[in-house]
Chains A and B, each alone.
Chain A
Amino acid sequence: MGKSNSSSRKTVLLQRNRDPQHGLKISFGVIIAILFLVPIIWMLFVSIKPDGFSTTNPLDWFLPPYTFENYTNIIADTLILRWVWNSLIVGLITTILTLFITSLAAFALSQMKFRFKKTIFVFFLLGLMIPGEATIIPLYEIVKNMGLIDSYAGLILPMIASPLGVIILKSFFDGVPREVIESAVMDGCSNFKLFYKIVLPLAKPALAAIGIFTFIGSWNNFLWPYLSILSETLYTLPVGLPVFNSAYSQAYVLPMTANAVASIPVIIVFLIFEKQIVKGISFTGIKG
C-alpha cells in the first residue's frame, strides 16, 4: 500500500509540473463549488435572521444580528417535525422492505434451481421499462380500491418492488464464489441459512448502495405523496413544506427556517456518509 502510494504521488507531482494551468483550474472548480453552495448557505443564514428581516444590501443577509428564536417558533407552531418524522419513517420502512424482498428474490434467481426461472427473470426485467410516473393514475385507482389512500402503507407499499434492486443483487450474488456456496451446502446449510448467514453478509456493499438509493429516492419523492396523502398529519416533507411556504410571499425568515429544519438532518447525514453515497451511486449507476 505504502509503495504504490509513493509511486502514485510521483506521477502526481509529474503531472502537476506538466500542467501550468493546474492552479487556475482548481480556482475555477472552487468558484463553481461556492456558487453551488450559495443558495444553501443563504438559506441557513436567513433562517437565523430576526423574523421580518429584509434588505437591499446583499451582504446584510450574512451579517448579524442572528437569532435562533425562529427555530423554536417553527418547531412549536407547525407540524414540521411531524413531517420530518413521516419522511424518515416512510423512507426507512421503504428501504428495509425493498432490501428484504429484492434480496430474497435475487437469491432465488441467482442460487436456486426451479422451473420458469428464466421467464420469471425476464418478467422482472420488464419492470425496468415501466416508468412509475406514467402509471400513476391507475396506481392511484388501485391503491384507492385497496383502501390505502392517505396512509403510511399507501405511501410505502407501491414503492418497494424495485426490479433494478433485484437485478443488481442477482448479479452480485452470481459473483459469490462457488466454493463458498458448495461448502456451506455440504455442511447441510438450508436455503434460508445460506441466504442470511452467507450470501447476505457478502453482499453488504450492494445492499448499502441500493439502500442509500432507495432512501434518498423516498425522501425526495414528490408526485406520489402529493397525490395519495390528504391529511396534514401524514404529509411528508416535500408535500408539507410547500403548503407552509406558500403562506408567505415576502417574509423570508420563517420559510427559510422551515427549509433549514428540513435540510439540516440530511446535510449532516450526507457529510457523514459522503464517501459511501458517492460510491453507491457509481456502483448502482454503472451496473444498472
Chain B
Amino acid sequence: MNKKSWLRDMKAIPFLLPFFIAYVIFTIFPIFKGLEMSLYDWSLVRKLDFVGLENYQEMFTDPHFWHTLWNTTLFVILTTPTMVFLALGLALFANMRTKLQTFLRSAYFLPSILSVAVISFVVIFMLQPYSGFVNTVLHSIGIETELYWLTDKVLAWITIVVVTLWWTVGFNMVLFLAALQDIPESLYEASEIDGASRWEQFRHITLPQLMPIGRVIVLLQILASYKVFAQILLITGGGPGGATRPLIQYIYEVGFRQNNLGYAATMSYALFFILLILSIIQLKAQRTEER
C-alpha cells in the first residue's frame, strides 16, 4: 500500500517539476535574495559589507524615496478613477447595436497592443512645441499660446495620464464589455414592461450588475498603476525636475546608475509590501465575488 502511494506520487513529478523549478528560481527565490541584498552594501559586481538595517534607515530619511513614492501614488490617484469611468463609457459605446461595433471595439483596443516605445515616441513627436502635430492643430483653431507639454510640470502630468489612458484603457473596456454582455436581456425586457426609462434601466440594472467586475477593475488598476515606469521614463524621463519620476525609476537609478543594488533592493521591498497588501485585498474581493 505504502509503496503504491509512493509510486503514485512519483507519477506526478514529471508534470509538476518543470513549472516548479522555474517558479522557485525566478519567483520565490528573488524574495529571499532581495532580503539578503537589502542587508548589504551590494554593488553591480559583487556583495560588499553587511550593513544590517542601515539601508532601511536610509530609506525612511531619503527625500527622493518619499518624493517618488508620492509621485507614484499621485499617478495612481489620477489614473484609477479616470481609467475606470472611461473604460465603462467606452464599453457602453462598444456594446451599442450598430454596424460600426467591430470598428469601435478595435479602435478603442488597438493602442493597447502597441509597444510602449512606439506610443511614447509618437506622443513625444506629436507634442513638440512649434512644429508638433498637437500644437499646429491648436494654432490652426486660433489658440496661439505655445504649449510646452513635456517641460511644464502640470502639462507633463496631464500628458502622462492621458497617454496612459489612451494606451491601456482598451483592456479594462474589454472586461466591462464582457460583463455587459452577461447581463440577462430579460432584466431589460421586464423593466421595459414596467415603463422604466433608459436612465432608470442604466441606474437600476446595468450599474448594479457591473459592480462586481468594477471592483475587480479598480483594484487591478491600482496594482498596475503602482508599477508605472516605462511610459514615464520614455516620455518625460521623470522630469521636469523629477516632478513625474516614479518609484521604479528611482529604484532603477539607485541600482544601476549609482551602483547600489542593496539600497535598490531595500526600496523594492517597500513597493513589494504596498503591492502585496493591495493583492491580498484584491484576492479577498475576488473571493467574495465568486461566492
Contacts and interface: CB of A to CB of B under 8 A. Distances in A.
A191 B11 contact: yes
A23 B98 CA distance: 9
A108 B16 contact: yes
A281 B110 contact: no
A12 to B, nearest CB: 5
A261 to B, nearest CB: 10
B96 to A, nearest CB: 6
Contact of A101 (B22, B33, B124, B230): B22
B29 A266 contact: no
Interface string A242-282: 10010000101001100100110011001100100110011
A113 B8 contact: yes
Given A58-B137, A101-B22, A138 B122 contact: no
Contacts of A34: 107
Interface residues of B, number: 98
A56 B131 contact: yes
Nearest to A285: B175
Contact of A259 (B33, B118, B272): B118
Q: How many of chain A's residues touch chain B, expressed as a range?
A: 35 or more
Contacts, number: 285
A29 B104 contact: yes
Contact of B115 (A54, A263, A278): A263
Contacts of A240: 117
Central interface residue in B19, B29, B171, B251, by most chain A CB within 10 Å: B19
A134 interface: yes
B9 A282 contact: no
Central interface residue in B30, B37, B256, by most chain A CB within 10 Å: B30
Contacts of A55: 131, 136
A43 interface: yes
Central interface residue in B20, B28, B118, by most chain A CB within 10 Å: B118
Contact of A158 (B26, B33, B268): B26
B117 A133 contact: no
B264 A137 contact: yes
23 contacts: A18-B198, A28-B93, A29-B104, A32-B108, A33-B103, A58-B140, A104-B14, A114-B9, A127-B28, A131-B227, A131-B275, A131-B276, A132-B27, A133-B248, A137-B261, A138-B29, A141-B33, A166-B19, A222-B229, A227-B256, A239-B117, A277-B109, A277-B113
Interface of A: 8, 11-12, 14-16, 18-19, 22, 25-26, 28-30, 32-34, 36-37, 39-40, 42-43, 46, 54-58, 61, 100-102, 104-105, 107-109, 112-115, 117, 120, 124, 126-142, 157-161, 163, 166, 191, 195, 216, 219-220, 222-223, 226-227, 237-242, 245, 250, 252, 255-256, 259, 262-263, 266-267, 270-271, 274, 277-278, 281-282, 285-286
